[in-house]
């Protein structure tokens, strides 16, 4: 949409939220339900992971299929992470992590974990580090280039019931820290480089932070008692990392995060902002996400939460109230949720949801076009009217004026230096971005499925030049004379 046509409607896009269903499409088969959806950093590509292990990459503007890769094992894809150059993408499937080349449609690296993966994150500051959150084990920090694995040294309280703790982690947007939460409601912060635990300002050094500010501990066994209200299932950061949302299914807690450095070291300060509970429908929250802001320098004040087939939009900074409910047209449960990164100013907020019926829905905000922005004298009318020309309205002889204006002597020096290479200030881009990815033409069903090759090649490894082709043997064919007239007499 042209920015000039929107005119005064630009103010409506600042800190806005989606209100209507814009468009959508359905995947080819019902069993290919979307389980993970992720935009790239620029927002022009969207990757969809399916329940059968297929990865589909679409162009956001045209919704055309760019690449289609099928994993070796037909397990649901649990996580998707984009690299900065947009050519490579990280996919978590069952107990394996794949790094795929979407242009050549093949796998270049495979990482195997001992237990199934819950979530996988790519470090924003160092793309060689991958945080793998597994079942029944603390998270692993894996360097996929050197195959080095380090288990995070976290000390969490044990359950009263003897079983292993299921934990999950998340990188901060800057990639300097890792936040880890468990099923008891405790949160630990670890430095990415040193792997040292960063203490909280109002807590002792060796004790983790609890979202309820008090831990329910059994006095006899001195172990934490399980409580379903503090069962952390998801952690999400806002765009600039100023806020963190903790999803416990029964409620969503929003905290303000601040890091302070003193002579004694660095500390984390948690301030509770809001707590949202689904008191109307009394149902659990499945997913949550912050709505990205229309400006890069500010965080949006809206929080998204999915509940069955509904997307609930909360305002968490000022009022802390429910402002909008988006309902899926087919009453299908939502399986994946993501927001457009909105790295440019004045872009409509876009939210993408994947449903259990293999539908991909785009929710956005409709903006009324203002045609009077072209000229202040432009009048808009409700319906067509007959225009009556005024006398001598178009009879002015302006040919001479037009000719004299073309001479260089009459032209003013309006030369301005325009920098077409510098990137806009409101654009969150990277130096390694790849701006062009060719679209793959439609292929038959047999040729569309691509299986990974056994040989693994890293992105930095150069391809070997082919050797000289072997010399081809010349084909000889016997020529028979079909003419009988040339026989000897």
* Sheet containing 334-339, strands listed edge to edge, beginning at the edge strand earlier in sequence: 20-26, 359-364, 351-355, 334-339
The pLDDT value given to residue 172: 92
Q: What is the mean pLDDT of the chain?
A: 75
Contact 276, 284 (CB under 8 A): no
Is residue 452 scored above 70 in pLDDT? Answer: no
The pLDDT value given to residue 199: 85
The pLDDT value given to residue 477: 44
If one counts every other C-beta atom within 10 angstroms of the C-beta of residue 141, the result is 19
Is the full-model pTM beyond 0.85?
no
Q: How many residues does the chain have?
A: 489
The pLDDT value given to residue 232: 85
How far apart are the C-alpha atoms of 327 and 158, rounded to whole Å? Answer: 40
Q: Quick one: pLDDT band at residue 38, thresholds 50, 70, 90?
A: very high
Q: Which residue has the higher pLDDT, 224 or 482?
A: 224
Mean pLDDT on 151-172:
65
Q: Which residue has the higher pLDDT, 477 or 354?
A: 354
CATH number of 119-277: 2.130.10.10
Query: Domain residue spans in the chain?
Result: 1-27+299-378, 40-112+428-457, 119-277
Render pLDDT for 179-189 as a digit per residue (tens, 0 to 9): 988 877 888 88
Q: Quick one: pLDDT band at residue 222, thresholds 50, 70, 90?
A: very low
The pLDDT value given to residue 399: 52
Q: What does the block give as tokens for 434?
A: 């790849």
Is residue 372 scored above 80 in pLDDT? Answer: no
Contact 426, 295 (CB under 8 A): yes
The pLDDT value given to residue 481: 44
Fold of the domain built from segment(s) 40-112+428-457: Lipocalin (2.40.128)
Mean pLDDT on 79-89:
90
How far apart are the C-alpha atoms of 355 and 326, rounded to whole Å? Answer: 13
From the list 153, 352, 118, 121, the residue with the least C-alpha distance to 232 is 118
From the list 307, 353, 357, 352, the residue with the least C-alpha distance to 332 is 357
Is residue 37 scored above 60 in pLDDT? Answer: yes
Q: Lowest-confidence range among 48-57, 80-89, 400-409?
A: 400-409
Mean pLDDT on 469-475:
51
Task: State the residue for tokens 């694995």.
Answer: 149
């Amino acid at each position: 949409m042209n920015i000039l046509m929107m005119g005064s409607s630009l103010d409506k896009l600042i800190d806005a939220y989606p209100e209507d269903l814009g468009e959508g499409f359905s995947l080819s088969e019902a069993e290919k339900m979307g389980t993970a959806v992720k935009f790239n950093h620029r927002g022009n590509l969207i990757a969809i992971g399916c329940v059968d292990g297929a990865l589909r990459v679409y162009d956001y503007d045209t919704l055309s299929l760019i690449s289609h890769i099928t994993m070796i094992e037909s397990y649901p894809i649990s996580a998707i992470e984009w690299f900065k150059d947009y050519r490579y993408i990280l996919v978590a499937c069952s107990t394996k992590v794949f790094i795929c080349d979407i242009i050549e449609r093949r796998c270049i690296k495979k990482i195997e974990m001992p237990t199934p993966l819950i979530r996988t994150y790519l470090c924003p500051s160092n793309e060689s580090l991958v945080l793998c959150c597994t079942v029944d084990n603390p998270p692993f920090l894996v360097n996929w280039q050197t195959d080095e694995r380090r288990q995070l040294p976290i000390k969490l309280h044990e359950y009263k019931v003897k079983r292993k703790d299921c934990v999950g982690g998340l990188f901060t947007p800057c990639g300097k820290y890792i936040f880890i939460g468990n099923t008891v409601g405790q949160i630990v912060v670890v430095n990415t480089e040193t792997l040292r635990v960063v203490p909280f300002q109002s807590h002792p050094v060796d004790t983790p932070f609890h979202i309820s500010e008090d831990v329910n501990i059994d006095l006899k066994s001195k172990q934490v008692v399980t409580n379903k209200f503090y069962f952390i299932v998801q952690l999400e950061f806002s765009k600039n990392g100023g806020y963190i949302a903790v999803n416990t299914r029964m409620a969503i807690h929003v905290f303000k995060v601040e890091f302070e450095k003193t002579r004694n070291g660095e500390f984390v300060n948690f301030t509770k902002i809001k707590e949202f509970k689904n008191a109307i429908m009394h149902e659990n929250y499945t997913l949550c996400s912050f709505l990205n802001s229309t400006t890069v320098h500010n965080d949006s004040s809206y929080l998204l939460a999915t509940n069955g087939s509904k997307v609930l939009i909360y305002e968490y900074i000022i009022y802390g109230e429910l402002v909008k409910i988006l309902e899926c047209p087919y009453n299908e449960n939502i399986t994946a949720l993501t927001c457009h990164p909105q790295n440019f100013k004045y872009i409509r907020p876009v939210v993408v949801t994947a449903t259990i019926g293999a539908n991909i829905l785009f929710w956005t905000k409709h903006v009324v076009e203002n045609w009077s922005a072209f000229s202040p004298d432009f009048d808009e009318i409700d319906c067509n009217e007959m225009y009556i020309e005024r006398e001598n309205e178009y009879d002015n002889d302006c040919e001479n004026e037009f000719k004299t204006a073309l001479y260089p002597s009459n032209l003013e020096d309006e030369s301005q230096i325009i920098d077409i290479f510098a990137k806009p200030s409101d654009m969150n881009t990277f130096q390694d971005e790849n701006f062009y990815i060719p679209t793959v033409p439609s292929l038959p069903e047999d040729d569309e499925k691509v299986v990974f090759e056994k040989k693994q090649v890293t992105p930095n490894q150069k391809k070997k030049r082919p050797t000289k082709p072997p010399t081809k043997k010349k084909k000889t064919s016997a020529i028979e004379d079909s003419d009988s007239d040339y026989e000897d007499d």
